[in-house]
Amino acid sequence: MLWCESLVLKLSQQIIKTPVAEDIRQLVMSPNQDFLAILTTHTVHICILPDSSHLSSLESAPPKPKFFTIGSTTHVTSRSAVVSALWHPLGVNGTALVTVTEDAVVRIWELSTADRWSFDKASLAIDLKRLADGTCLDQDFGVSVSATNKGFSPDSFDMEVAAACFPARHSGNWSPMTLWVAMTGGDLYALCPLLPKKWSPPPTLIPSLSVSIVNRSGSTEDDPDASPEERLLAQQQLQWMAELDKQEPKIVEDTYEDAVLEVYTRPEHPGKVPRLQGPFEFEVNPEDEQDDEVELKDIFVIGQGVNTAELMLGEDDDLDDEEDAGLSLSVICLLSTSGQVKVCLDAEGVEAKWLPPRPLSSKFKPLGPMSEPPSLLVFQTFDTVKPAELTSDSWPMFSQDPASRYSFYVTHPAGITHVNLEPWVSRLENELGEESEAGAEFRIDLLVKGGQGAERERVFTQPRGQNVLAAATVIRDRDIGHLLLSSTYSQPIPIFFEAPELELATTVREASVIPELADEPAPEPAWDPRPLFRPSDYLNLKNAIPQWHELLRSGKRRALLQQEVRLSPVTLEVFTEGHKVVSAQVFQLNHAVAELFRKCEALQDELKDQLVKASEAKKKIDKITGEDSGDDEPVSVDMLIRSRLAAARAKQEELVHKMEIVRKKMGRVTTRELSDKEKAWAEEVRVLETSIMGEEIDDGSPISKAKQPWKRFEEIQALRDSLLAQAEHLRKAAGEAADDVPATPAPNVKIPAEIRRAKMAQVMSLLDRESMLVEAVKSRLERLTVG
**What's the pLDDT tens digit per position in 182-200?**
999 889 999 999 999 999 9
The Cα 78–Cα 42 span in angstroms is 8
Tell me what the mean pLDDT of segment 634-659 comes to. 85
pLDDT, position 727? 83
Q: Comparing 700 with 498, which gets the higher pLDDT?
A: 498
Q: What is the spatial distance between Cα 545 and Cα 331, in angstroms, rounded to a whole number?
A: 57
Going by pLDDT thresholds of 50, 70 and 90, the confidence category of residue 722 is confident
**Looking at residue 513, what is its pLDDT?**
43
Is residue 641's pLDDT more than 80?
yes
Q: What is the pLDDT of residue 311?
A: 61
DSSP state at residue 743: -
> Who's near 543: CB < 8 A, 6+ residues apart?
585
* Residues 591 and 538: beta-carbon distance below 8 Å: yes
pLDDT of residue 515: 45
- Rounded to whole angstroms, the Cα distance separating 705 from 84 reads 93
pLDDT of residue 752: 80
Which contiguous run of DSSP H or E holds residue 106? strand 105-110
Q: How confident is the model at residue 786 (pLDDT cuts 50, 70, 90)?
A: low
CA distance 302 to 297: 17
Residue 553 scores a pLDDT above 80: no
Looking at residue 426, its pLDDT comes to: 78
% of the chain exceeding 70 in pLDDT: 75
Residue 327, pLDDT above cutoff 90: no
Whether the CB-CB separation of 33 and 50 falls below 8 Å is answered with no
- Among the residue ranges 10-24, 120-134, 452-466, 625-639, the one predicted with the least confidence is 625-639
CA 165 to chain centre: 22
Degrees (nearest 5) of the Cα angle 163, 336, 342? 100
Q: What is the mean pLDDT of the chain?
A: 79
Per DSSP, the three-state class of 541 is: coil
In sequence order, the β-bridge partners of residue 280 are none
- Model pLDDT, residue 291: 46
pLDDT at residue 1, as a whole number: 38
Report the pLDDT value the prediction gives residue 685, as an integer from 0 to 100. 85
- According to DSSP, the β-strands at 260-265 and 198-199 are antiparallel
Q: For 533-549, how does the pLDDT look when each residue is reduced to its tens digit (9 = 90+)?
A: 777 777 777 777 888 87
> Pick from 82, 97, 95: which is nearest to 163 by CA?
82
Gap between the Cα atoms of 270 and 285, Å rounded: 39
pLDDT of res. 229: 87
Is 70 exceeded by the pLDDT of residue 6? Answer: no
The better pLDDT of the pair 329, 465 is held by: 329
Name the residue among 15, 36, 12, 13 with its Cα closest to residue 26: 36
Which of 234-238, 298-302, 310-314, 607-611 is least confident?
Answer: 310-314
Judged against a pLDDT cut of 50, whether residue 518 lies above it is answered with no
- Residue 281's nearest CA partner among 162, 187, 156, 163 is 187
According to the per-residue pLDDT averaged within each range, which of 98-112, 368-382, 678-692 is highest?
98-112
* CA-to-CA separations, 521 to 513, 516, 622, 649, 749, in angstroms, rounded: 14, 11, 21, 42, 119
Neighbouring C-alpha atoms within 13 Å toward the C-beta of 647: 6
Q: What CA–CA distance (Å, rounded) separates 486 from 492?
A: 6
Tell me the pLDDT band of 514, cut-offs 50, 70 and 90.
very low
pLDDT band at 527; cut points 50, 70, 90? low
Is pLDDT of 748 > 70? Answer: no
> What is the mean predicted confidence (pLDDT) over 213-238?
87
For position 399, what pLDDT does the model report? Answer: 93
**Whole-number pLDDT of residue 10:** 42
Distance CA 660, CA 662 (A): 5
Confidence (pLDDT) at 571: 82
Tell me if the bond preceding 270 is cis, omega within 30° of 0: yes
Note the pLDDT of residue 361: 46
Residue 39 is predicted with a pLDDT of: 92
Using CA atoms, how far apart are residues 540 and 523, in angstroms rounded to an integer?
42
Q: What's the CA gap between 556 and 567, in Å, rounded?
A: 18
Q: Which pLDDT does position 181 carry in this prediction? A: 95
Q: What is the CATH number of domain 19-145+155-202+248-306+328-356+372-518?
A: 2.130.10.10
At 57 the pLDDT is 63
319 to each of 204, 306, 310, 591, 721, how far by Cα in Å?
10, 10, 10, 63, 97
The string of pLDDT tens digits covering residues 565-586 is 778 888 888 888 888 888 888 8
Q: Flag whether pLDDT at 71 surpasses 50.
A: yes
